[in-house]
Each structure stands twice: as C-alpha cells, then as structure tokens.
Amino acid sequence: MSSFRIFNQVSGLQRLLARFGRDKRGNVAVIFAITLLPMLGLVGAAVDYARANNARTALQTALDTTALMISKDAAGLTASQIQTRAQQYFNALYTHSAEAPVSNFTAVYSANTGGGSSIILTANSAIQTDFMKVLGSQFNQINLNGATTTKWGSTKLRVALALDNTGSMSDSGKIGALRTAATNLVTQLSATATNSGDVMISLVPFAKDVNVGSSNYQQFWVKWSGQSDTWDENNGSCSKSGYTTKSTCQAQGSCSISSKSTQSSCTSAGSCSISGYSTQSDCQSAGVCSKSPSSNTTQSKCTKNGGTWTTGVWTAGVWTNAVWTPSSHSKWNGCVTDRDQDYDIAKTAPDSSNSSTLFPAEQYSACPASVMPLSSDWTSLKNAIAAMQPNGGTNQAIGMAWGWLSLIQANPLNAPAEDSNYQWSHVIILLSDGLNTQDRWPSYGNGNTQSTCSGSPCIDARQQKLCDNIKAVKDSNGNSLYTIYTIQVNTGSDPTSSVLQYCASDPSKFFMLTTANQIITTFDSIGTQLAKLRITQ
C-alpha cells in the first residue's frame, strides 16, 4: 500500500473523529466509543503490514545474495567457517536490522558427495507493531521468517567455441568484436568455476580448414598421401623443373635420345651400331665384315674370305620418368581439411587401418589460428583468442565438426574423462559472418559462392547432416547431449542462413546480428545462460 493512500486514510479518520466529537446525539457517541479501537487497529494494520513487508523482502534478498556469495567461497572452508562467513555477509546485506532485528540465523552446508554442494540459510526476525497492538497483546509484533537453498557444482560445463576467422571478418570491426566477446565469455564462465575442471572451454578458429598445430606432424591421425589433394601429392620438388605437383611431375621425363621429348616418341626411336640405318629392322638385318668391308658386303662373302661378320645392334631410346620428392612433413603449417565422406560429418575416432578416418594435411595458405583442446588455462585461451586473424573462405561445417570432436574423449583432441558423479553440460557455439563458400571439394564451392548439389547448396547439405548427427546423440535421460548455439553476423546483405537456423538446438538459440557490437552483447547473454547451469537453485 502506498504512503499516499495511508496518509489519506489517517486524515479521513481524523475528520471522522472531529464530526463524532461535535455530534450531540447519544447513540452516535456510544457506537463511536465501541468501534473506535477496532477502527484504529484496522486502519493502522495497513501501516504495520507495509513496514513488515518491506522488512521481509529485505530479509529474503539478504539471504539469497548471501547464499550465492557463499557458493563462490565454500571451497576450502570448514562448516564453522562457512557459518561465520555467511553471518558476516548477511549482516552486511540486511538493511532492516534496527526495526526488525534477527533473532536466529543458521547456515547448513553440505559438501559435494557427487550430487553437488548446497547451503541452506534460515533467518527469524520480528517487527514491533505501532497500531495493531491496540487490538491486543497477540498483535504486538509480526514474525518474519526467511529461508533459501542454493546448490552448485553438480553440473560441470564443457563449451566449444567454433569461430569464423575468414577474410570477411576483417570488415566492420567484426574480428575485433569477436576477440573481445570470446575473451569476455572466458572470463564470465571461468568465474563460475570453484575447482579445476568445473568449466572447460575449447577454441576452434576456422576458415576453409582448421589448424590442428604443426607440432602434430608425427601423429598417426594425420593423412599425408593416397589422394590427389593430400600433402605428399602437392608439396615437394620435381627432378624436372617447372612442375609443382606429383601428378604433373611424374607425367614428365627425359629421353636418352635428346631429340625426343615424349615417352612414346622416345621408346619407339633408337640408334644403330652401323651408321646409315634408322629403323630397328634395317639395323638388325645389316652387318659389317672385319675383312675388306667394302667388298665383303654379305655374311657369306665375309666368312668365305676369312672375315668376321658383325650384325647391327639396335639401341632403343630409354625414357626416365621425372622423380617427385615430397617435402619434409615438419614444414607443414598445421592445417587439415575435411575428412573423406561420410567421416566428415561423424565423430568416429581416427583409425590407422582406415585411411578415410584420418585428417588430410593441407598446406592451406589461409591457415587460421590453432585449435585449442578443452582447457581451464584461462590465460592460454585468451592468448589463443587474441591470435585470431581473418583470412580465407567459409566452411562452417569443418568448424562445427571440430567443435564436436573437441568434446569427444578420443583422438585427436582427447577431451578429459567425465566423472559419473556429476552432471555434464556440453555446448557448441558456432559463429559465422556469412554463408558457406568453400570446403575440401572444389566442385562444392569456389571461395566466393557454393554450388548446388541435388537442388541444395552443397556445403550446407553436408553441414545439415552433421548437425543431425550431433543432435541424435542422447544422454541417459533421452535428452540431446549437446546444446548448439548458432550466430550469424550479417553486416552486409546476405540472406539469413537457413543451415545456421537448422543447426541451433531450438529457435531461441539462433541469433541474427547486424552489427559487430552485437557480438559482444550476444556472447554476454549466452554466457549468462550458461553460468546459470552452475547454480541450479
């Protein structure tokens, strides 16, 4: 009830009392005397209850805030220390202690035994009435009781950030805003962690490829050869200058007959040991006599006259293929492209006995910053975010795939094991500023636009299947194991990305942004949602 209404009611009561006092009729005076105290009590009750309600709200707010603050401090404190700390917080936060002092405050802490930690706070207080006490001693005070329960630590967070690092991110301040937003998110989520491993974040910068780190060149899961687009076929040197791929190099060669430049002309040509013969048949039919060659022109004449006949020897041209020597794998810049279909849209762990499950190395000129596996090393994560630079074409599918792989407890990124005593939330956040334009398969896109396959954009179709596979993974309760947020930053005139909308776990988790600054506010909003998962009540 507002103070203005209470004032009007009290003023009205004063006018009524004045009229009653002037009234000479006895009945009115008697009735007035009988009803005066109840009327005073009822009108005054509004004032007393308004005061009590304000104090009760302050009491509950102080309890709720204290519980949240204790949830941040509880690690390493004993039960008695928690009681003391909670009392200190509550005393500082409760603003009505003068008129409604607290007679009893308790803090009951339950340490984590697998279901998370909890604290139960209770407080009892009372406020003395000013008006209601005229109705009797039982109305001398209004009791105020409050309680709150906060649980934390039962849910642990694993978050994959798949972030567009393509060339167009250099426009409109987008890459700078992305660095700021991602750094802020790391700060925001790390603040909810009590113990190491409570929150872990992976980073997957992507363009057409992703960078798994050049130091991994000796890992079995990197594929170097076997296909026309793999590393060994495209990085090396040719024994014949001017050829930069294995296939073009090995199509070249040299002939023992310098005038012949092709393999077919080389092997069909040759030279005769007896001059004057240019074909193999003529050469091998000819000969020369050791005695008076000019007169002994046939073998029979030669031998009859005591000479030695030597048949012509034909030497065919010899073709030597050019030799391709792959570059040392230690020179690799760390980039890999999409796996063979359909492993490109699966979480299948790499298997050395199945080359299609391996990740093809590529010396991609626009190789983005390195992938960082799940980590709670907040400084290293922020440094990795700061290293992101815009370059290359857009392949959202590979970013989504590696975001998923970073949450899997298998090669190549080996997410840490998950303790079954806890609940786990797995989140993928994919941000891109445009549409897909390029992936491993040149026929799917040229870096500017993507082609159409069976009536649908080729790369989008692969990505949609990938998202279907991610969403199909369920937890023990039959719910989707992964929550997917997708963000489109459209500062130009691109249409809304249907595949980004499709991949989001639900419509509320797709964000269409039109300015770079909205990247920061959107990440903050998502971070707030994720932080709430760490405090369940």
Structure tokens at 53: 């309600």
Q: Counting Cβ atoms within 10 Å, is residue 127 exposed (0-12), middle (13-18) or buried (19+)?
A: buried
Q: Give the residue extent of every domain in the chain.
A: 3-152, 155-208+367-532, 253-321
Distance of alpha carbon 500 from alpha carbon 430, whole angstroms: 8
* Sequence-distant (≥ 6) Cβ neighbours of residue 14 within 8 angstroms: none
* Residue whose pair of structure tokens reads 């010899």 in the numeric block: 318
Reading the chain (537 residues) residue by residue, the pLDDT tens digits are 444 443 444 455 456 545 645 555 555 555 555 555 555 555 667 787 888 899 899 999 999 989 888 877 776 678 888 889 999 999 999 998 888 899 899 998 887 655 567 889 999 999 988 777 766 777 778 898 999 988 776 789 999 999 999 999 999 999 999 999 999 999 999 988 878 899 999 999 999 999 999 999 999 999 999 999 999 999 999 999 999 999 999 989 989 888 888 888 998 899 899 988 988 999 999 999 988 877 888 899 999 898 999 999 999 999 999 999 999 999 999 999 999 999 999 999 999 999 999 999 999 999 999 999 999 999 999 999 999 999 999 999 999 999 999 999 999 999 999 988 788 999 999 999 989 999 999 999 999 999 999 889 999 999 999 999 999 999 988 999 999 999 999 988 889 999 999 999 999 999 999 999 999 999 999 998 898 776 554
Under 8 Å between Cβ of 109 and 79: yes
Distance of alpha carbon 436 from alpha carbon 395, whole angstroms: 5
Tell me: cis bond preceding 412? Omega within 30 of 0 counts: yes
* Residue whose pair of structure tokens reads 């080359």 in the numeric block: 355
Return the CA Rg of the chain.
Answer: 42
Q: Is 348 helix (H, G, I), strand (E, B) or coil?
A: coil
Structure tokens at 337: 């492209």
Widest pairwise Cα distance in the chain = 181
Q: Is 69 helix (H, G, I), strand (E, B) or coil?
A: helix
Query: What is the DSSP code (8-state) at residue 61?
Result: H
CA-nearest of 96, 77, 99 to 86 is 77
* Residue whose pair of structure tokens reads 């009290």 in the numeric block: 10
DSSP of 387-433, one letter per residue?
Answer: T----S---HHHHHHHHHHTTSSSTTT-PPP--TTSEEEEEEEEEES
pLDDT at res. 10: 42
* Residue whose pair of structure tokens reads 């997708």 in the numeric block: 486
Under 8 Å between Cβ of 204 and 162: yes
- Whole-model pTM: value is 0.72
- Bridge partner residues of 325 (DSSP): 237
Helices (H), 269-308: 280-285, 299-304
Q: Counting Cβ atoms within 10 Å, is residue 116 exposed (0-12), middle (13-18) or buried (19+)?
A: buried
* Sequence-distant (≥ 6) Cβ neighbours of residue 397 within 8 angstroms: 338, 344, 345, 436, 439, 459, 462, 463, 466
Structure tokens at 459: 């790369």
155-208+367-532 CATH fold: Rossmann fold (3.40.50)
Under 8 Å between Cβ of 281 and 271: no
Q: Which residues of 62-81 are buried (b: 16+ CB within 10 A; e: fewer)?
A: bbbbbbebbbeebeebeeee
Distance of alpha carbon 268 from alpha carbon 395, whole angstroms: 50
Query: What is the DSSP code (8-state) at residue 76?
Result: T
- Bridge partner residues of 205 (DSSP): 163
Q: Counting Cβ atoms within 10 Å, is residue 157 exposed (0-12), middle (13-18) or buried (19+)?
A: buried
Q: Is 81 helix (H, G, I), strand (E, B) or coil?
A: helix
Distance of alpha carbon 365 from alpha carbon 514, whole angstroms: 29
